[in-house]
Amino acid sequence: MGSLPHFSHKLLCRVSLALTLASFAIFPLVQISPRPVGASNPTFSATIANYAFHPQHLNVTTGTQVTWTNNDATQHSVTSTQANLTQGGGHLIDSGSLNSGQSFSYTFYKHGFYPYECSFHSYMTGWVNVTGPDVQPPSSPTGASAIDYTPYIIGGVITGVGVILSLALLFRRRTQEAKST
Q: What is the pLDDT along the chain (181 residues), one digit of tens a residue?
A: 445 455 566 666 677 777 777 666 665 555 544 444 334 468 999 999 999 999 999 999 999 999 999 999 999 999 988 766 655 667 788 899 999 999 999 999 888 889 999 999 999 999 999 999 988 888 765 555 566 777 777 777 777 777 787 777 777 777 777 777 7
Peptide bond into 55 cis (omega under 30): yes
Residue 27 backbone dihedrals phi, psi, to 5 degrees: -50, -50
Q: How far apart are the first and last CA of the chain?
A: 23
What per-residue confidence (pLDDT) applies to 87? 56
Query: Side chain identity at 95, as an amino acid letter?
Result: S
Burial of 22 from C-beta contacts in 10 A (0-12 / 13-18 / 19+): buried
Instruction: Count other Cβ atoms within 10 Å, centred on residue 84.
Output: 18
Q: Which of 165, 73, 71, 80 is nearest to 119 (CA)?
A: 80
What per-residue confidence (pLDDT) applies to 36? 40
161: three-class secondary structure by DSSP: helix
Sheet holding 57-61, edge to edge: 57-61, 125-131, 112-117, 79-80
Largest CA distance in the chain: 102
Query: Side chain identity at 180, as an amino acid letter?
Result: S
